[in-house]
Amino acid sequence: MGLGILGNLLASWLEPAILQDAFLPWNLVAIIALIVIGVVLGVRAQGGKFTWFLNQNTYWSLLIFVGVALLVIILLSVITRRTPVLYFVIDTTAKMQPIFNDVRREVQLSTSLVPRTFKIGLRTYGGSADNIPNCQDTEQLLPLQTYDNFSARIDSVLARLQPRGNGSLTGAVLEAIYTDLANENNHIQMLVVTSGTDPLCDPTGGGILERRAKEVKDNLEVIIISIGEIDASRKQILNSYAEAFNGRHINVPTAASLHSIVQNAAYYGYGYYGDGTFPGEPDATLVP
Amino acid sequence: MAITAMVHSLASRMQHWCRKLVDNPALGHKVSSGLFSLLTLVIGLVIGVLVLNPLWGTLAQPNLFPAAILPPITGPIDGLFYIRNAELGYAWSTRDPLSLWFHPLLSSFLQVLPGWLPKNSWFWLISLVFAAACLPLIFRLTVILTGNSSVQPKMIPLCLVAPGGLSLATGNAEIPTLFFSTLLLLSVLAWEKWWLTVVSAAAAILTKPNALYMVAVLFIYFLFAVATRNLKLWKHSLLGMAALLGGWLIWIWIVDWQTGHPGAYWEARLAFSPYSGPVDLRGFFEQWLNAFLVDDLRNQIRFSTAILIPMVSLIVIGLVPFASEPHRYAFAAGNLAMLIISLALGNPNKILLYATTLPGYFVTHLVLLAWLISQRRQQNMGARWLVGACYLAYCVGMQVVYVIGTPLGWYF
C-alpha cells in the first residue's frame, strides 16, 4: 500500500494538487498487484511451493506492512486534510417575517458549535426596501473564509436585516455557485434556509435549471431546508430544485430543527438510529 | 413405591451416563462444553437483566429504545428494524434504507412465530437460542484449529469478557450470523457435508451481509487447498463461497425486483447517512481526525474502535498457536475484509459487534487466554505479562464502550 501513496507524496513536492490522487482506487489496485506479484515471484523462487509463504514470521511481516500502510494513510490524511466548507444561503424575503427571529437565533446557536477550522460564508436574498419587486436582490454578506467567531458575526449581520420584498432562491444559489464558491475545491455543504418559494421570482419547476446545474461541480452538496408547513405544490417545486442541484430538500416543522441539521453538516454524518428516522425531522425528502 | 422405583431408575441412568462420559473423553468434552455454554448464557443473562437492562433504560438517549424494543436488552440498536420488517413487511414502495438494509431471515422467523409473545421478546429468545447453540460450536472449532486441548470447556464463559461478548445475552442478528458462519466453517474444515455447507452459507448471508467476511476466509482455504491438492477442502471452500455470493445475489435481485427499481439494494446500502459528507476511504480518516479537532467523543470512539478492533484482532491472530498456518491467514483475511469494507464505505459503525460475527473472533480470544494462563508460566513470563495486561485493558475498555456506549450511541 505504501508505494502508491509514497509515490504520490513524492509527486506532491512538485505539485501539491497531485496529493488528491493518493486516494484514488488505482493506488489500491497497484498495491494489491504488487503484493500478488511479490507472492508469485516468491512462490516461483521456492520451486512453485505456495505453502512456504504461510508461516508465522511472514504473517508478522505482512501485519507490520499493513500497520505501516495505515499509519502512512493517517499521516497523509493529516497533511492533505481538506478544509470543510459550510455556506449559508438565507431567505430574507417578506414571507420569512414570522420565523426570521427564530431562524436567526438557531443559526447563531448552531454555528457556535462549528469548528474554527471550517470555512464559512453567508449570502442572503430578499430584504430590499423597494416596493418594486426585485428578483435579483441577493448579496454575499460574509465572504467564504475561516472566522474566529462566526456565530457572533452572522448574528450581527442578520440582526441588521429586515425580512421584506422578493427574492429568488434559485438565483441566489446559482450566484453563490458561480461567484462566491467558483474557486473552492474543498467539499462544500450549502445550506439554503427558506420558508418556501417565491412565485414571482422562482421558476415553478427544476427542469429549466438543469442545464445550468449540470455545470455544478461534484464537491458541492446543496441542502434546501424549508421551515414550517408548505403545501404539496411548493414541496414539489423545492424537490425539483434540489434534484436539479443534485442535492436534497428537507422540510422541518420549526426553526429549532436547524440546529441538528447544521450540526450534522458540520460533523459529517450523525447516525440513523433512534426513532427509526433520520435526525432532523421525520419528513426528510431524499432526492433522488 | 412408584416414586422410589422412579428415583432408582433415574439414579441408575445417571450412573450409566457418568460411566459413559468417563469411558469416552470425547463425549465428556461435548457434554461439558454444552453445560459450560449454558452456564455462559446464564451468567450473561444475569448480567444482562441486572446490569445492562436498567443501565440502558436509564442512560438511553431519547427515542433510542422505542416501546417496540423495551426492555432494552431485547433488541438494542438494529433490533428495531428487524422487528419492524417482521411487523410491517419491507418498505418496497418507499425504498426506505432503514428497511432494505436488513436481510430477511430473522424477520421471516419473527413473522411465522405465534403471537403469544411480543415480537421483540421472540427476537431476544431467538438470539439466545442461537447463542446457546453457537458456543459449543465455537469450542469445537477451537479444538480443531488449535489441534490440542489447551482450551478447556470451563473457559467458554470467558467469551463474555471478549469485546462485544455480552451481546450473547441480548437480542441481535450478529450472534445468529456467527452461528451460521461457524457452522459453515466446521462443515468446510471438518464435517465435509455439502448440504450443510450450502445451507449454512445461505442462512448466514440471509441473516446479515456481514457473512460476506467469510468469503475472504474461505478464499484463503481455497488457495491453500489448491496448493496442497486437497480436493475436499478445495470443493467445500469453493461451494461455501459460491453459496454465500449466490445467496447474496439472489437477495439483491429480490430487492430490486420487489421495489421495481434496478439497483435499489445498492442505493440503500450506499445511503448509510443522508447527512454524511464524503463516504469513502479519505472521508473516513478526515472524519476521524475531525472528531479529535472538535472534541467530539462519539466520533472519536466510533472511528477509533473501527480501526482498533480489527488491528488488535490481527495482532491476537498473530500471537496464538494454530495447528496449521492457513488458519492464521484465513482469520486475518476475514478481519481485513471487515476493515476494508468499513474503510471503503467510510462507515465506522458497529465494528465492535460486527467483529463477533467472525468465527475466529471468540476462538482466538479463548486461545490467547489459554496461552496467557497456561501451566508453563516460566516461559516468556515478561512477554506474557505485557500481552496479558494490554489485552485485559483492551477488553475492559471495549466492555465500557459496549455497556455505556450502547445507550449513548458511542459506536454506531
Which of the four pLDDT bands, split at 50, 70 and 90, describes residue B279?
low
- Is pLDDT of A25 > 90? no
pLDDT of residue A29: 66
pTM above 0.90, yes or no: no
Q: Measure CB to CB from residue B329 to each of A54, A267, A279 and give the nearest one.
A: A54
Count residue pairs from A and B with Cβ separation < 8 A: 120
**C-beta of residue B95 within 8 angstroms of C-beta of residue B44:** no
- Confidence tier at A202 by pLDDT (50, 70, 90): confident
Q: How sure is the predictor about A135, in pLDDT bands with cuts at 50, 70 and 90?
A: confident
pLDDT tens digits, one per residue of B124-180: 999 999 999 999 999 999 999 988 667 889 999 999 999 999 999 999 999 999 999
A112 → chain B, closest CA residue: B294
Tell me the pLDDT tens digit for each residue of B56-82: 988 887 777 777 778 889 988 888 889
Residue A35 has pLDDT above 60, yes or no: yes
pLDDT at A20 over 70: no
Residue in A49, A54, A251 to test binding to B, most B beta-carbons within 10 Å: A54
| % of chain A exceeding 70 in pLDDT | 67
Q: Which range has the worst mean pLDDT, A120-134, B10-24, B272-286, B320-334?
A: B272-286
Please state, in angstroms and rounded to a whole number, the distance separating the CA atoms of residues B168 and A28: 36
Higher pLDDT, A9 or B160: B160
Question: Which value does ipTM take for this structure?
Answer: 0.72
State how far the Cα of B133 lies from the Cα of A85, in Å rounded to an integer: 51
The larger pLDDT score, comparing residue B178 to residue B116, is at B178
> A-chain residues within 8 Å CB-CB of B296?
267
pLDDT in tens, A157-193: 888 888 888 888 888 988 898 899 888 877 788 899 9
Which of A24-38, A71-85, B203-217 has the lowest average pLDDT?
A24-38
Nearest to A63 among B271, B273, B314 (CB): B314
- Do B409 and A77 count as a contact with CB atoms less than 8 A apart? no
**Residue B155 is inside which H or E element, if any?**
none
**Chain B residue closest to A85 (CA)?**
B277
CA distance B350 to A92: 42
Interface probe, candidates A19, A32, A273, chain B, greatest B C-beta count within 10 A: A273
Pick from B63, B227, B409: CB nearest A275: B63
Higher pLDDT: B198 or B261? It is: B198
Cell representation of residue B212? 460476506
Question: Distance between CA atoms of A177 and B36, rounded to whole angstroms?
Answer: 65
* pLDDT higher than 50, residue A269: no
Instruction: Name the residue in chain A with its Cα closest to that of B85.
Output: A276
User: Can you give the pLDDT at residue A214?
Assistant: 62
Q: Which three cell numbers stand for residue A20?
A: 488528491
Task: Name the more confident of B353 and A40.
Answer: B353
Percent above pLDDT 70 for chain B: 91
pLDDT bucket at A49, cuts 50 / 70 / 90: low
Give dist(CA B151, CA A73) in Å, integer.
Answer: 38
pLDDT for res A242:
82
**Long-range pairs for B94-99: beta carbons < 8 A, 24 or more residues apart:** B95/B259, B95/B261, B95/B264, B95/B267, B95/B268, B96/B268, B97/A272, B97/B267, B97/B268, B97/B269, B97/B271, B97/B272, B98/A272, B98/A276, B98/A277
Report the percent of chain B where pLDDT is more than 90: 55
Contact B290 A267 (CB under 8 A): yes
pLDDT digits (tens, 9 = 90+) for B382-396: 888 888 999 999 999
- pLDDT at residue A13, as a whole number: 41
CB contact under 8 A, A273 and B287: no
Yes or no: say if A249 and A239 are a contact pair by the CB < 8 Å rule.
yes
Residue A129: pLDDT band by 50, 70, 90 thresholds? low
Is B359 a residue whose pLDDT tops 60?
yes
- B229 or A132, higher pLDDT: B229
For A204-245, the pLDDT digits (tens) are 655 555 566 666 777 788 888 999 888 888 888 888 888 777
pLDDT of residue B393: 96
CB–CB of B290 and A269 under 8 A?
A: no
- Band (pLDDT 50/70/90 cuts) for residue B357 is very high
Is the CB of B408 inside 8 Å of chain A's CB atoms?
A: no
Question: Is B289 close to A81, i.e. CB distance below 8 A?
Answer: yes
C-alpha cell at B233: 477442502
The chain-wide mean pLDDT, for chain A, equals: 74
